[in-house]
Amino acid sequence: MSTLARSFSEVTTGIRDRARSNSQVRRNSHNAGGSEVSLWRKHNTFPKTEHNARMRAAEAFEHETKLPGKRNGALGSIGLDVLRCLLRLRGRKDGRLDPTYQWIADKIHKSRSAVVEAVARLKACGFLDWIRRCVPIEDALPDEQQSEQISNAFILLQPPTVRECVRRMLRKPSEFVRAVAEKMARQKKLDTATVDDVIAEVQSPELRAILARVRASVDSANPPSGHTETL
């Protein structure tokens, strides 16, 4: 084989190998670095005390859903292992959580298929959700695949009953109690506020100036001594 033919063969082989190495993009996949960032911050960032409470609540959920004569509950022992692994792995500051199924399987010493089934159970029970993601392939030729699949972005959730259980563990006030407390605080502030306090709360500078002039006019017409000023 000539040098030119050998070089051409190496190039075309490299292209074929690269095309084979790219994973097919699954339906409903989103570009990485999009919506998952805000969802990670919203759902995956919480203090370590809540981390432990979530795990205890999940274990209680597993116990409560275990039927007589059955070995596991709704989550299963592997489901608890996966959840524990994800809770420990999440980014403390940004909530990032995007391991591969194989990485989780290696970490908890289970098969990949067992992890996939456990993740599906966690989602069905309201403990987990995910976003399928893809990234563009650099230097892809026009007739080649333009994007490839990457690991899912996992979002840590809580079913309503588990959320209430976690709240009790942390002794946090419920949404209703917190709303009532805020309303009472606002009412107390209004009851004790002076006219100057009310004027200071006005956001518009123009309206605030008008109210201040009205206040000054009223004070001038009704002085503390009870005697109006001589015109």
Q: Return the pLDDT at 9.
A: 43
DSSP 34: S
Task: Please provide residue 121's backbone torsions phi and psi, each rounded to the nearest 5 degrees.
Answer: -65, -40
What is the domain partition of the chain in residue ranges? 25-168, 171-219
Closest by alpha carbon to 91, among 134, 29, 39?
A: 39
Model-level pTM? 0.62
Contact call for residues 51 and 171 (beta carbons, < 8 A): no
Please write down the HEC assignment for all residues of 60-129: HHHHHCCCCCCCCCCCHHHHHHHHHHHHHHCCCCCCCCCCCHHHHHHHHCCCHHHHHHHHHHHHHCCCEE
CA atoms within 13 A on the CB side of 93: 0
Percent of the chain exceeding pLDDT 70 equals 71
**Which CATH number is 25-168's, of 1.10.260, 3.30.1490, 1.10.10, 3.10.450?**
1.10.10
Q: Answer whether residue 70 shows pLDDT above 60.
A: yes
Q: Return the pLDDT at 129.
A: 96
Q: Answer whether residue 79 shows pLDDT above 70.
A: yes
Task: Please provide residue 154's backbone torsions phi and psi, each rounded to the nearest 5 degrees.
Answer: -90, 140
How big, in percent rounded to 5, are the helix, strand and coil portions of the chain? Answer: 60, 10, 35
Tens digit of pLDDT for each residue in 3-22? 434 443 443 444 334 444 44
Tens digit of pLDDT for each residue in 83-134? 999 999 999 999 999 999 999 999 999 999 999 999 999 999 999 999 999 8
Closest by alpha carbon to 17, among 29, 9, 25?
A: 9
